[in-house]
Amino acid sequence: MGTESEDGFCKLYEHLISTKTGRKEKAKNEMIGKVCVHLDQVNFQLENREIGV
């Protein structure tokens, strides 16, 4: 960690576990599942070590 994106990642996580994604665990799990599907489609260019993810 310790990168510029760390704060944004932490806020994303806080948002995902808040009641904004749903009050019931099933609703939260469905939202987190949708986020994971979208993240899977992102090309993070992991082979390029010159940039931060």
Task: Kindly report, residue by residue over 6-16, the tens digit of the pLDDT.
Answer: 777 777 777 77
Confidence of residue 37 (pLDDT cuts 50, 70, 90): very high
Query: Contact 21/32 with Cβ under 8 angstroms?
Result: yes
Q: Could you tell me which residue, 1 or 17, shows the higher pLDDT?
A: 17
Query: Contact 5/52 with Cβ under 8 angstroms?
Result: yes
Mean pLDDT of 38-49: 81
Nearest to 33 by CA among 45, 44, 22: 22
Mean pLDDT of 41-53: 73
pTM comes to 0.53
